[in-house]
Structure 1
Amino acid sequence: MSYTTLIDAATLKAHLDDPDWRIIDVRHQLANTAYGEQAYGAGHIPGAAFLHCDRDLSGPMTGKNGRHPLPDPEKLAARLGEIGVGPQTQVVVYDDAQGMVAGRLWWLLRWLGHDRVALLDGGLQAWVAADHALSSELPPLRPATFVVTMRDALVDAGYVQTFLATSRLYLIDARGPDRFRGENETIDPVAGHIPGAVNRFFQLNLQADGRFKPAADLRAEWLALLAGQSPELVVHHCGSGISACHNILAMEIAGLSGSRLYPGSWSEWCADPARPVAQGN
């Protein structure tokens, strides 16, 4: 059996010694980019490798391509191979940020054609709450060959601008409501959102305990938000292409496949003063 959306802590624990499984820790903080490695070194799920959000899950910034540009696919594939991810590997990703960063790696793997990837539901907090042990030991890694099969899973700024005022695009912004409205913007230089976008804060996908809502509940909420729009017309974005992946995962859990990501997101969009900006709801 393969896991392609979520996995719980008990199931993961039962497979800790499975040689065909690879656990990846992607803890990260925007305000302290050294946090993830430090936290990993202090204690992680046994057997987990670490990938860095900026170095591994993102590419170089140019000042016009957003705060977390996509990594080069072949470089990411090589890095995944280094830590033991091959074609048949079941990957489990986790963080301690409600799945926000882990969702990015979940999406990246699927973008590269690897479906056997699941997010630890509830993150590291769920693992610790179940009284499962942490380890500070570096795991032995058996390199593998990661085979890339690229998927049509994203759009660029040009696509968004071309179809902005048409029925061929349904934009969903995963940022918090205040930032969407253009209030309390402390990260990007321009406040507001892409005109025509609707807001679905990624945390709305979660229950109070940090786990995802049941699939039926997510489906009902997302169908209400889509208001008859096809999932294939949906383009997700956020501040820099990170938390938007959480919404893509939620739609997948809900059985609403086919939406795509605008990776540059607001941080790329607002870097060009010629692009339109909206504020308020």
Structure 2
Amino acid sequence: MTDQLITVQTLEPLVGTDRVIVIDAREEEAYEDGHIPGAINIHPSELECVETLACGTDVPHQLRPPLEVAAVLSAAGVTSGTRVCIYDEGGGFLAARLWWILDVVGHSRAQLLDGGYFSWATETAAIEDGFTGAAPAEFVPSPHGDRRVGFADVITAIGRPDVVLCNSLPYDAFLDETIPGSVSFPYTETFAEESYPLMRTRHELAAGFAEQGITQRTHLICFCGIGYSASQLYFAARYSGMHRVALYDGSMVDWSAHGGQLVPGQL
């Protein structure tokens, strides 16, 4: 498996070659204003849909079926063996959301650009605007269904000693309301305070998770409001070396839509 994180220095000589496909996960307007040369634009929302529950409630930003995701990736020239580098503005979670999606559908050669576009633009003058096309390819999905969980999975997980539900929202939001039995690890704490928006080291992340009782033996379920900032926490957990990690797609919006109770969090 390709290392999950790549630096500007490592990416720079690869840009413009056939050794990597660079994906800008930002909004189209930001991409058009300036992006890494040769980068294509795929916002995570292109790979999502609205799910209508049996009760009639709509839950937005749900991952589309694997074959539909594969069609978008194929149109972008991505195959299962393509090395992919994903970035957003830096310090956010759009790139991580896209990385999680690729992880779910079985792509094991995706990397996040450490520091995102901010670091790239700060360290190099290589910028282009407009749109970049891609030669179509064929992506064949090999889904990892255990990396995306839903309401029934979370209900079953609550109270299990080997499972930790982890809320990635800021502390004040966690204290206001959260899924019962969950702990707090704000996604912003996955970034290095002294060199933001670069990521913390693997060791630092593992230590941060350990403070919440999360270890290599833990089955970690990450969630937030809708599943976006939790993607950054998911990435950080995987980057720190954890393997039993899943994301609750739809998160607290889906939880509430199913009638789940939200309670004040406790630090």
TM-score (norm 2): 0.91
Matched, 1:96 2:82: no
Cα drift, residue 61 of structure 1: 4.4
Amino acid at match of 2:70: A
Partners of 2:122 and 2:25 lie apart in 1 by 19
Alignment match, 2:242 = 256
Partners of 2:212 and 2:11 lie apart in 1 by 33
Q: Name structure 2 gaps, 5 residues minimum.
A: none
RMSD over aligned CA atoms reads: 1.8
1:276 to 222, 246, 261: 261
Partners of 1:239 and 1:4 lie apart in 2 by 28
Partners of 1:181 and 1:61 lie apart in 2 by 28
Alignment match, 1:156 = 150
| 3-state secondary structure, aligned to 1:67 | strand
1:140-164 CA-to-partner distances (Å, cap 9, x unmatched) read 4111100100112122101111332
Partners of 1:15 and 1:228 lie apart in 2 by 35
Amino acid at match of 2:129: S
Cα drift, residue 57 of structure 1: 2.9
Q: Is the 8 A contact 1:170 1:229 kept in 2?
A: no
Matched, 1:73 2:59: no
- Counting only pairs closer than 5 Å after superposition, residues 216-231 of structure 1 correspond to structure 2 as 216-226=203-213, 230-231=217-218
Q: Is the 8 A contact 1:20 1:88 kept in 2?
A: no
Amino acid at match of 2:208: E
- Counting only pairs closer than 5 Å after superposition, residues 84-233 of structure 1 correspond to structure 2 as 84-151=77-144, 152-182=146-176, 192-208=177-193, 209-226=196-213, 230-231=217-218, 233=219
| 3-state secondary structure, aligned to 1:23 | strand
Cα drift, residue 97 of structure 1: 4.6
Partners of 2:120 and 2:60 lie apart in 1 by 30
Partners of 2:180 and 2:4 lie apart in 1 by 31
Matched, 1:58 2:48: yes
Percent identical among aligned pairs is 31
Structure having the larger proportion of residues in strand: 2
Amino acid at match of 1:206: F
| 3-state secondary structure, aligned to 1:250 | helix
| 3-state secondary structure, aligned to 1:143 | coil
Partners of 2:215 and 2:20 lie apart in 1 by 39
1:167-194 CA-to-partner distances (Å, cap 9, x unmatched) read 2531001111111112xxxxxxxxx110
Partners of 1:229 and 1:142 lie apart in 2 by 40
Cα drift, residue 276 of structure 1: 1.9
Partners of 1:264 and 1:127 lie apart in 2 by 31
Q: Is the 8 A contact 1:85 1:144 kept in 2?
A: yes
Cα drift, residue 102 of structure 1: 0.4
Partners of 1:216 and 1:225 lie apart in 2 by 15
Q: Is the 8 A contact 2:225 2:251 kept in 1?
A: yes
TM-score (norm 1): 0.87
Amino acid at match of 2:30: A
Q: Is the 8 A contact 2:187 2:230 kept in 1?
A: yes
Partners of 1:229 and 1:87 lie apart in 2 by 27
Q: Is the 8 A contact 1:180 1:279 kept in 2?
A: yes
Alignment match, 2:17 = 18
Q: Is the 8 A contact 1:59 1:72 kept in 2?
A: no
1:234 to 220, 244, 259: 220
Distance 1:111 1:65, change over 3 A: farther
Q: Is the 8 A contact 1:64 1:268 kept in 2?
A: no
Count of aligned residue pairs for this structure pair: 260
Amino acid at match of 2:12: K
Q: Is the 8 A contact 2:49 2:61 kept in 1?
A: yes
Structure having the larger proportion of residues in helix: 2
Distance 1:229 1:80, change over 3 A: closer
Cα drift, residue 280 of structure 1: 3.7
